[in-house]
Amino acid sequence: MKVYKFGGASVGDAAAIRNVGKILKEESRERKVLVFSAMGKTTNMLEEVHRLRFEMLDWRPAFEKVANFHKSIASDLGVSDGALFSDFQATLVKMEDDFSNPLSANHAMEYDRVVGMGEVLSTLLICAHLERDGLNVEWVDVRNVIKTNNEHRRAEIDWERSQKSADILLAHLEEDTTRTIITQGFIAQSKLGNMSTLGREGSDFSAAIIAYLLNAKSVTIWKDVPGMLNADPKWFNNTVQLPHISYNECIELSYYGASVIHPKTLKPLQNKNIPLFVKSFSDPSLAGTVIDATSDYDTLVPMYIFKPNQVLLSIKSRDFSFIVEKNLSDIFEMISESGLRVNMMQNSAISFSIVVDQDEALVKSLRDMLQVAYEVKFNDGLDLLTIRHYDDATVRALTGHREVLMEQKSRQTLRFVLR
């Protein structure tokens, strides 16, 4: 069995969804589980619905936008009847009903129950379309399979409970080995039975979880790029495609901010040695990128990861005394409470510096906490550049004309905070 994951861009309109059907028909007859994201920018639109509800404003026009977007895709696809289409329509009605209830105190939970619905809508429509298109498909609610703790917006997987549910699904799949399963990325079910989500862009991770639980042979992520590149073409010219990299290299790259694959995706695959393919949905004949245990090709090309909109916070004690372990432990407590992720850090005798994403609200809350006991200097609008497998020419070309505020070097990785 293989797992395929299709992201928002690969199902952003009727033509894209038809293309998914085409890919499926051209691929081998092997059993498949298909994991889909919400269509196009639906998740962002639903975040807007959540924000409006949260601020006690009129969320209905924003919800209408989501509903109309999906209805127009349904009509473009010519999907207008059948059980799945009825479920799709009923889901829209239920969403509106559900969102009309007063907000509970748990805002992260409210976020999940609104924002997670994009994947439910997309899979119902896509499944209805593929069925009409002649495929033997079955819609599966992934909330009956992937179980999490009660945390929201970045729920932790409960592997034991998930495995139990997956075993039941697996037995069901054995009943008809020609059937293709259509299910959702991003969402899961909390211990209390509520909708939970795995974090933005979490559908890659969902595909990996499912592959792990079902002992799949491989995972393929279908993307709008020909494979993994050594840099994001949005920021760099002359990118090259990586035909083959190792799990570990890929984990490093996504840790430093490469946005091709969700960082949590690799671990479950690595644990069961399941290869991951990144392929182009617009040209499936291209080879794409293979990610597996082989590390022979990892260091062949320098790779660059660029993160704009960074803030450098330099934290000093007010009396210029040393920053010692006790201070660091306090500081980390505050960082953890702020919800910010540290992208880079460095310490000296009297100061401790961190680089974080420029999320105004979170950064302000962290500064407010820190300023009670520390003096905090602040530089914003910075870029963070990471070069893996660096060489002199690359470093010169990428940093020569910029002011370097902070630098960190290890054997394979060179990092710069640039103004």
Binding site for ligand ASP (CB under 6 A): 7-8, 37-38, 43, 118, 185-186, 200-203
**CB-closest chain residue to Mg ion:** 8
Residue 252 partner contact from ligand ASP, Mg ion, none using kind-dependent CB cut-offs of 5 to 8 Å: none
Shortest distance (Å) from residue 197 CB to ligand ASP: 8
Q: Cβ 377 to ligand ASP, closest distance in Å?
A: 34
Per partner kind, with CB cut-offs from 5 to 8 A, the member of Mg ion, ligand ASP, none near residue 122 is none
Nearest distance from residue 294's CB to ligand ASP, in Å?
27
37 binds Mg ion per the rule CB under 5 A: yes
Q: Write down the least CB distance from residue 202 to ligand ASP, Å.
A: 5
**Does the footprint of Mg ion cover residue 8 (CB under 5 A)?**
yes
| Residue with smaller CB distance to ligand ASP, 203 or 230 | 203
Q: How far is the CB of 2 from ligand ASP (least distance, A)?
A: 19
- Specify the residue, 44 or 75, whose C-beta has the smaller distance to Mg ion: 44
Separation CA 13–CA 18 (nearest Å)? 9
Identify what 310 binds: ligand ASP, Mg ion, none; CB under 5 to 8 Å per kind.
Answer: none
Between 181 and 187, name the residue whose CB sits nearer to ligand ASP: 187
CA distance linking residue 241 with residue 249, whole number of Å: 15
Identity of the residue, 209 or 313, whose beta carbon is nearer to Mg ion in the bound complex: 209
Pick the stretch among 1-9, 59-67, 131-139, 236-244 that binds Mg ion (CB under 5 A). 1-9
Three-state SS for the chain is CEEEEECHHHHCCHHHHHHHHHHHHHCCCCCEEEEECCCCCHHHHHHHHHHHHHCCCCCHHHHHHHHHHHHHHHHHHCCCCCHHHHHHHHHHHHHHHHHHCCCCCCHHHHHHHHHCHHHHHHHHHHHHHHHHCCCCEEECCHHHCCEECCCCCCCCECHHHHHHHHHHHHHHHHCCCCCEEEEECCEEECCCCCEEECCCCCHHHHHHHHHHHHCCCEEEEEECCCCCECCCCCCCCCCCECCEEEHHHHHHHHHCCCCCCCHHHHHHHHHCCCCEEEEECCCCCCCCEEEECCCCCCCCCCEEEEEEEEEEEEEEECCCCCCCHHHHHHHHHHHHHHCCCEEEEEECCCEEEEEEECCHHHHHHHHHHHHCCEEEEEEEEEEEEEEECCCHHHHHHHHCCCCEEEEEECCCEEEEEEC
What distances in angstroms separate CA 325 from CA 168, 330, 334, 370, one per listed residue?
Answer: 49, 9, 14, 16
Quote the Cα angle for 404-410-415, to 5°: 30
Minimum CB separation of residue 42 from Mg ion in Å reads 9
Place of tokens 């894209």: 16
CA-closest candidate to residue 277, choices 7, 2, 27: 2
- Residue 19 or 37: which CB sits closer to Mg ion? 37
With CB under 5 to 8 Å by kind, the binding choice for 353 among Mg ion, ligand ASP, none is none
Pick between residue 118 and residue 268 the one whose CB is nearest to ligand ASP: 118
Q: How far is the CB of 397 from ligand ASP (least distance, A)?
A: 33
Minimum distance, C-beta of residue 283 to ligand ASP, in the bound complex (Å): 21
- Identity of the residue, 37 or 162, whose beta carbon is nearer to Mg ion in the bound complex: 37
Strands 342-347, 404-409: pairing is unpaired
CA dist 156 and 37 (Å) reads: 19
Dig out the tokens for 409 from the structure. Answer: 């070097």
What's the closest the beta carbon of residue 408 comes to Mg ion, in angstroms? 31
Which C-beta is closer to ligand ASP: that of 41 or that of 389? 41
Nearest CB to ligand ASP, comparing residues 7 and 302: 7
Query: Between residues 46 and 385, which has the closer beta carbon with respect to ligand ASP?
Result: 46
Check binding of 10 to Mg ion (CB under 5 A).
no
Question: Which span sits near Mg ion by CB under 5 A: 35-43, 294-302, 365-373, 395-403?
Answer: 35-43
Taking the complex as a whole, the smallest distance from the CB of residue 82 to ligand ASP amounts, in Å, to 25
Which residue is it, tokens 């969700």? Answer: 262
Binding site for Mg ion (CB under 5 A): 8, 37
